[in-house]
Amino acid sequence: MKNIFLSTVFKIDVTFHAIAGSVLAFMMVITLLDIIMRNLGSPIVGTVEIISFCGSVVIGFAIPYTSWKKAHVYVDFLIEKLSPASKKSMAVITRCMGILLFAFIGYNFIIYGLDLIRTKEVSPSFKLPYYPIPFGLSLSCFLQCLTLIADLVKTIHPGGDR
């Protein structure tokens, strides 16, 4: 059961990471094309809008996989001085705090998305609705909660994970 949960969360994390990477590549192409077109006197309309939408997807969707791989910035000079039992306790406490934080953020993104639907707010250039972005970010936050739960499981019951 543990391995099924861990592998499922990992596969979803990888999928979100692949989406983030693809969107980042798209952002690079759009930026390059805009620079070329701007030099030719005909910039791409709404480039800032496109980059803004894509940037939120890249950052939000990359967080769970980055957390899984422990590729984030980690300041451990204090933790390294603790005993192994204290390190494990600290890891459990910080994972639980992270789960609560990302659940809170995800919930608030849903509230914000519902508010954007109610007010029918759209982007200025393309008139695209804003609400999919907070809903996507809330999904990413809840996936981060699952990733932290998986990390908690790996911390409490080590062995047999990626």
The one-digit pLDDT tens for each residue of the chain (162 residues) are: 889 999 999 999 999 999 999 999 999 999 999 999 999 999 999 999 999 999 999 999 999 999 999 888 777 778 888 898 998 999 999 999 999 999 999 999 999 999 999 999 999 889 999 999 999 999 999 999 999 999 999 999 887 555
* Residue 161 domain flag: no
Which of left, alpha, beta for 128 (phi over 0: left; psi -120 to 50: alpha)?
Answer: beta
Q: Is residue 84 part of a domain?
A: yes
Residue 162 pLDDT: 54
Residue 61 included in any domain: yes
Which range marks the domain in which residue 80 is found? 2-156
**Is 73 part of a structural domain of the chain?**
yes
In a domain, 33, yes or no: yes
**Domain annotation covers residue 116:** yes
Domain count, the chain: 1
Cβ atoms of 79 and 90 within 8 Å: the answer is yes
Q: Give the C-alpha separation, 62 to 53, whole Å.
A: 15
Q: What is the pLDDT of residue 34?
A: 95
Q: One-letter amino acid identity for 22?
A: S
Does a structural domain hold residue 162?
no
What gap in Å lies between CA 133 and CA 56, rounded to an integer? 7
